[in-house]
Amino acid sequence: MAEVLLFVGVLVAMFVGYNIGGSTTGPAFGPAVGAGAVSKSTAAALMTGFFFLGAWTIGRRVVDTLGSDLVTSPGVFTLETSIGVLFFIGLALFVGNVFGVPASTSMTAVGAIAGLGVANGALDWAVMGGIVIWWIVAPVIGFWVSLVIGRYFYGRLDRLLAMDQTEGAVFQVDRSDGLLPTVSVREDASNREAIGVVSVVVIGCLMAFSSGTSNIANAIAPLVGSGELAMNPGILIGGLAVGIGAFTIARRTLETMGSDITDLPLTAAIVVATVSAALVVFLSFIGIPASFVVIATMSIVGLGWGRATRPIKVTDAVRGEAEETPPVSVHALAADGDGDPAPPIGEEDPSDIPTPGELFDPATTARVVLMQNVVPLISTVGAFLTFRYAPFF
């Protein structure tokens, strides 16, 4: 019977890993895909490799701590309860992926474990409170940092990087000279554009690595904590499942993060990825499960909003002299890329704001924000009700 339960547990853990791949590939490589830096298949391959690298190196530490720090009694992780926790994590993430929204894996997993802890009176409220505070603060920081960059520095950054995008792939691969292919920059693409492409992909790889350090625990920590699954096989199983999710269901979240919310030029993609990656690394450094999916989303929104508000001076807005706040534009992020000096704040021509059909998509943004809060709630409430009232637990 125990062998059957373990087999079921491994299948559920792989289901969780599958959905982790689907929900975290978008935030890591959505900006790169949206900017045309890499294809979806290349993004999936990079996500798989760097996620596994992060999981195999630092991730095992998070696996060891997730089942002990958040609950006061690690004994609550039996084989049966571990399967239940993994089931609710996977179910909630699957709901987010079905709607094409990259839900926070860390929030979903912590929510399910918290539901188990509350149901058994074993939740460490101090640890939980610290995690929740940072979940609120970090996206706000990401939004405002990106807004300030978009409003005051984006034009200068865009001219400095000079990355006017050309059609097609920046790099071309030549396989005619033997077994080893040679990679070169396409003739009509600039070296600075190539540097920009490499930069945004490297940052995506860093985010994938960071995801592996924290999110592998969300898939296998309950089983490893119960003593039923060894660490190394667990990481191999979880990494394989994440790769499957990255190559399949992640295509929808890549579209959401890369094009449906906003049409990111390469400079904007680098800004969003840099801000998000920096916050994720900081949160991981202080031991907080990083909700980088929310941070990345709010960074995109903040950058677009900052670019769209350039026609209005802060003093005019405070005095009420501005007729109205300009709409947030997806193509406002691409402004100032023609080499001309950016107009001073408040003197930018409002007619440069695109038509309503080109505006920042509020419906997609609302769907993303709503689902990113609903998905963790599903896992938390479902786990609590099950572990509190189900007789077989």
Predicted pLDDT of residue 337: 46
Residue 104 domain boundaries = 2-389
Model pTM score: 0.72
Read off the tokens for 385: 């009700």
Tokens 């709409």, residue located: 327
Counting the structural domains of the chain, the total is 1
What confidence tens digit (pLDDT) does each residue in 199-256 have? 778 888 988 988 888 888 888 888 887 778 889 999 999 999 999 999 988 876 676 6
User: Looking at 12-107, which runs of residues are DSSP E strands?
Assistant: none
216 contacts 59 by C-beta, under 8 angstroms: yes
Average pLDDT for residues 11-23, to the nearest whole number? 86
- Going by C-beta distance under 8 Å and a sequence separation of 6 or more, which residues neighbour residue 295? 27, 138, 139, 142, 275, 276, 279, 280
Read off the tokens for 7: 């087999």
Predicted pLDDT of residue 255: 65
Average pLDDT for residues 91-120, to the nearest whole number? 79
- Going by C-beta distance under 8 Å and a sequence separation of 6 or more, which residues neighbour residue 385? 115
What confidence tens digit (pLDDT) does each residue in 346-355 have? 555 555 544 3
Average pLDDT for residues 73-79, to the nearest whole number? 80
Read off the tokens for 303: 């950058």
What confidence tens digit (pLDDT) does each residue in 152-191 have? 888 777 777 655 555 556 666 666 666 666 666 666 666 6
- Of 113-117, 269-273, 314-318, 383-387, the one with minimum mean pLDDT is 314-318
Predicted pLDDT of residue 26: 80
Predicted pLDDT of residue 161: 62
Please provide residue 239's backbone torsions phi and psi, each rounded to the nearest 5 degrees. Answer: -65, -40
Provide the pLDDT confidence category of residue 365 given band limits of 50, 70 and 90: low
Provide the pLDDT confidence category of residue 143 given band limits of 50, 70 and 90: very high
